Amino acid sequence: MRLIFCGTAAFAVPSLEACADRHDVVAVVTRADRPGDRGRPAPRPVAESARARGLDVLTPAKIRAPETVAALLDLDPDCLVVAAYGQILPTSLIDAPPHGSVNVHASLLPRWRGASPVAHAILAGDAETGVSIMRVDAGLDTGPVYMQSRITIAPDATTPSLTERLAALGAAALLEVLAALERGEASPRPQPESGVMQAPRLGRDDGRVDWAARSAVEVDRMVRALQPWPGVLAPLAGVDVQIVAGSPAGVAGAGEPGAVVGREGESVIVATHDGGFRLDLVTPPGRRPMTPAAFLRGHRPGTGGGR
């Protein structure tokens, strides 16, 4: 099939490569390169992969612009494939190809519709997640689903590691759906009305820890889910430090939430609302990652910027 592929983030790269291996990708639509080090542009993952394969790369500022839609439809695609693109597509584009538009989404829809499904699955403590291959409609991840593939979420899963697994799973499922579309055998099913959960884009405030309001299990989920963005900030000795690594730990005796109630080598255990959380590696403001014990040895109370 002649495909137009719309994607930007690393999650979409395996899907792009699978499409390029099996089909005729006539154009890759992606977001423009971001500013990088020393003012040089930092290529987006999809753009980098597409250029390495010699595919035509388009970076329209607004894909909804009538002239952009017209230019894409002039390429006469059989289907539009979307994966982690970052812009809402107009119905004039998604409905025009003979096989419509197909989206690779990193959740078991209708659970976790939105921009951050992987992180929200970890934050919620979900036991499993997966990918949904759906037909794109005018809503946000509301279209009928062609196929779903499931995987178990490991207890130590992070957003980057789980995203990598889901990206490979999504690419394989996408090829199955595209093959079924070619054979005329694909029949999407409407999403159920029950079980809808939203996964909005995450911001800095989502990564702030209140030791008195969070359990050790919840802090662990935050640390694993909110990397690389927005990261997790927590007060330690009056300073907001970024938690780089840690895990729930038993606490010998009670302690006020936020207080250091134990030590294990260079790690320290902080009391939470329920249980203790062991800090293994932290990044103080303006400094490099270090063990919490090293931070506390060099910290003078009253000099930090914590709350």
- The CATH number that applies at residue 287 is 3.10.25.10
Identify the pLDDT of residue 246: 97
275, pLDDT greater than 90: yes
What is the rounded average pLDDT for all residues in the chain? 94
> Are 162 and 85 contained in the same domain?
yes
- At 36 the pLDDT is 54
Range scoring the smallest mean pLDDT among 121-130, 200-209, 244-253, 278-287: 244-253
199 contacts 120 by C-beta, under 8 angstroms? yes
The per-residue pLDDT for 306 is 43
Q: Can you give the CATH number for the domain in which 168 is found?
A: 3.40.50.170
Distance CA 98, CA 1 (A): 11
Together in a domain, 24 and 146: yes
pLDDT tens per residue across span 215-259: 999 999 999 999 999 999 999 999 999 999 999 997 655 689 999
Query: What integer pLDDT is reported at residue 39 of this predicted model?
Result: 55
211 and 171 housed in the same domain: no
pLDDT in tens, 164-178: 999 999 999 999 999
> Domain range holding 87?
2-183
The DSSP line for 204-252 is: GGGGB--TTT-BHHHHHHHHHHSTTTT--EEEETTEEEEEEEEEEE--S
Cis bond before residue 292 (omega within 30° of 0): no
What is the per-residue pLDDT for 108?
Answer: 98
Q: What is the DSSP letter of 284?
A: -
Q: Are residues 163 and 216 in the same domain?
A: no
Is residue 261 in a domain?
A: yes
37 and 165 together in one domain: yes
* pLDDT for position 299: 81
CA-based nearest residue to 103, from 173, 44, 151: 173
3 state DSSP class of 177? helix
What is the arithmetic mean of pLDDT over 153-161? Answer: 97
Instruction: Look at residue 213 and tell me if it is in a domain.
Output: yes
Q: Mean pLDDT throughout 30-39?
A: 71
| Sheet of 128-135, strand order | 57-58, 24-29, 2-7, 79-83, 101-105, 128-135, 145-152
Residue 306 domain flag:
no
Q: Are residues 28 and 163 in the same domain?
A: yes
Do 94 and 175 fall into the same domain?
yes
Give residue 33's pLDDT: 80
Q: Strand 101-105 to strand 79-83: parallel, antiparallel, or no bridges (unpaired)?
A: parallel
- Of all residues in the chain, what percent are helix, strand and coil, respectively (each to 5)? 30, 25, 45
Q: Please compute the mean of the pLDDT values over residues 148-170 and round it to a whole number.
A: 98
Q: Which residue has the tokens 């207890």?
A: 155
Provide the pLDDT confidence category of residue 162 given band limits of 50, 70 and 90.
very high
d(CA 155, CA 135) in angstroms, rounded, equals 32
pLDDT of residue 250: 75
Per the CB < 8 A criterion, the answer to whether 227 and 141 are in contact is no
Q: Say whether both 71 and 169 belong to one domain.
A: yes
Is there a domain that residue 195 lies in?
no
Angle at Cα 153 formed by Cα 137 and Cα 208, nearest 5°? 85
pLDDT class for 305, splitting at 50, 70, 90? very low
- pLDDT above 70 as % of the chain: 93
CA–CA separation, 31 vs 244, rounded Å? 29
**Same domain membership, residue 215 and residue 164:** no
Tens-digit pLDDT profile for residues 44-73? 899 999 999 999 999 999 999 999 999 999
- Please give the pLDDT value at position 307: 39
Q: Into how many domains does the chain fold?
A: 2
What are the pLDDT digits (tens) for 105-125? Answer: 999 999 999 999 999 999 999
Q: Is 52 left (phi over 0), alpha (psi -120 to 50) or beta?
A: alpha
**pLDDT at 40 (0 to 100):** 58
Residues 147 and 43 in one domain: yes
Q: Is residue 190 in a domain?
A: no
Coil vs helix vs strand at 298: helix
